[in-house]
Chains A and B, each alone.
Chain A
Amino acid sequence: DTEVTQTPKHLVMGMTNKKSLKCEQHMGHRAMYWYKQKAKKPPELMFVYSYEKLSINESVPSRFSPECPNSSLLNLHLHALQPEDSALYLCASSQAGVLYGYTFGSGTRLTVV
């Protein structure tokens, strides 16, 4: 299995909702990442997990809460989002951090209404 699977592919949520994005990989990669991408812009790093521990938080607002339950799973819990949080959320994994290429999922298109 050489894929990163993200679910759901599309999500529409209200500003008072709580939802979660899920990311799964079975390649034995020990680093996992959340990126946010707005239209016509590059991906922006949000969080880095290394060996299931949060190693980098790029000053992301607390309404985004990451979780890594095990080495294959990465979740992003969403609560009280704003319309400007609407974006493509990408999950990625790598064998050993930045020394190797990342494998990206196809993303979750999030719309906050």
Chain B
Amino acid sequence: SQQGEEDPQALSIQEGENATMNCSYKTSINNLQWYRQNSGRGLVHLILIRSNEREKHSGRLRVTLDTSKKSSSLLITASRAADTASYFCATDADYNQGGKLIFGQGTELSVKP
């Protein structure tokens, strides 16, 4: 079963607005990652935040992590039409077997010009 659950499932905003996506997970983690997927293509790694970090920035991206609530958020500031994509959070599991990344259900972001 998937560890991460995201909301909203779909988000539609205007160019220039900020977009916030949330991710919740069930078990303890070592890190949480965010990925972007343009329609029908491979996933692109955006940012990784470790369990001992609370906030991380990368360009227009800001990720927060609250391990007490088992939740994370991804904020995209000043969105552009090119940000239109699906966004997935992913958490790690099964270290004893070498580790695996489990993806949440994803948020479909549409940025209208």
Contacts and interface: CB of A to CB of B under 8 A. Distances in A.
B92 A98 contact: yes
Given A104-B44, A109-B40, A98 B99 contact: yes
Nearest to B101: A98
Interface of B: 2, 30-31, 33, 35, 40-45, 48, 88, 92-95, 97-106
B101 A45 contact: yes
A43 B33 contact: no
Given A56-B100, A98-B100, A90 B42 contact: yes
B31 A98 contact: yes
Chain A interface size range: 20 to 34
A6 B35 CA distance: 19
Interface in A41-97: 41-45, 48, 50, 55-56, 58, 88, 90, 92, 97
Nearest to A55: B98
Contacts of A31: 98-99
B43 A43 contact: yes
Contacts of B97: 48, 55-56
B105 A101 contact: no
Given A104-B44, A109-B40, A97 B98 contact: yes
A88 B86 CA distance: 15
A7 interface: no
Given A45-B101, A55-B98, 8 more contacts: A42-B103, A43-B88, A50-B98, A55-B97, A98-B30, A98-B31, A99-B92, A106-B42
Best-buried of B41, B42, B104 by chain A (most CB within 10 Å): B42
Contact of B33 (A45, A48, A101): A101
A103 interface: yes
Contact of B94 (A56, A100, A101, A106): A56
